[in-house]
Amino acid sequence: MMSPIVSIIVPCYKQAHFLKESLQSVLDQTYSHWECIIVNDGSPDDTESITQKWCALDSRFKYLKKENGGLSSARNAGIAVSRGAYILPLDADDVLHPDYLEKLVPILCNDESLGIVSCYTKFFSIDITKTSFDLTPQGTHWGYLLYVNQLIATSLYRKECWNRVGGYDESMNKGFEDWDFWLNISKRDWNYKIIPEFLFYYRKSKQSMLTETIQKHAEEVKRYIFIKHKELYIKDFDNCMEVLFFELSVQKMGHDRFKNSFEYKIGKIITKPFRIILKLLGIQK
């Protein structure tokens, strides 16, 4: 019997310079029954010319061009035309271990209770032999995903899961769309499994969608997820309150440390004349 086909979906927007390393890691897979769909999400660089070379090199590489719509839109567009029973999202700047598919596909194939299989991850900047951080997630079901996203975006899952949940939420253009997607799958009675092996390399850029989300939009996006999946947080109400009040206390501690810092006190001295003038003018700050 032929092994299940895996559809690897690679959205690309302004990351053509990373494509070679990412696509080479696909070509190097010891598991051969895959197709790789590179989705040009309206990228202004040379994504198209680079992709066409890979398509000419191996017919398993496919090319899809669309107007820019964001990461969720690009993933959905690629999955919609895919032929695989299993889906693997792969960002254009990340790298797979050669054994990634060979190790994960049989796990998903042999256990119908699983919707998702993932692995341990090493973070790198330029060279995958020089990593800076090891990610070793935990858990098996939605309860482990409520407050921390335990699953990397490049996790293997059933296309049936994507069909059931209606794909990635395309309104989530500020990040954490994969966290929402995993919650959507796991709350429908699919479990996940994490293989305790380092089979994925995540490129940690100074400027990326993830870092921007954490720095600028974390509270806004988390609020959206909490409301969207409120039935889960209601089930876990006591823990939810513990987590939220813990986060509030951490924020207060940080605020108090800032107010007691030397820089804050110097700032108050420098701005005091301006505050006095504003007060005399009847302008409250």
Spell out the per-residue pLDDT of the chain, length 285, in tens.
567 899 999 999 999 999 999 999 999 999 999 999 999 999 999 999 999 999 999 999 999 999 999 999 999 999 999 999 999 999 999 999 999 999 999 999 999 999 999 999 999 999 999 999 999 999 999 999 999 999 999 999 999 999 999 999 999 988 899 999 999 999 999 999 999 999 999 998 755 555 555 567 788 999 999 999 999 999 999 999 998 888 888 877 765 565 566 554 555 555 555 455 555 555 554
Q: Which amino acid is at 79?
A: I
- 247 shares its domain with 217: no
Is residue 45 domain-shared with residue 144, that is, in the same domain? yes
Strands 156-158 and 34-41, bridge-based pairing: unpaired
Given a contact cutoff of 8 angstroms between Cβ atoms, the answer to whether 7 and 159 are in contact is yes
10 Å Cβ neighbour count for 92?
24
Is 220 inside any structural domain? Answer: yes
Question: What is the rounded CA–CA span in Å between residue 118 and residue 105?
Answer: 10
DSSP 13: S
Split into its structural domains, the chain has a count of 2
- 171 with 256, same domain: the answer is no
Contact status, residue 127 vs residue 47, Cβ threshold 8 Å: no
Q: From CA 269, how far away is CA 272, in angstroms rounded? A: 5
Same domain for 108 and 97, yes or no, is: yes
Compute the radius of gyration of the chain from its Cα atoms.
22
- Cβ-based neighbours of 118, under 8 Å, separated by 6 or more: 104, 137, 150, 151, 152, 155, 156, 192, 193, 194, 195
- Among 120, 83, 84, 80, smallest CA distance to 104 is for 120
Residues 143 and 268 in one domain: no
SS3 label, residue 34: strand
Give the H or E element holding residue 20.
Answer: helix 16-27
**Amino acid letter at 177?**
E
Instruction: Say if residue 78 is in the same domain as residue 92.
Output: yes
Do 116 and 248 fall into the same domain? no
Q: Return the amino acid letter for 29.
A: Q
pLDDT for 8? 98
Residue 245 and residue 122 share a domain: no
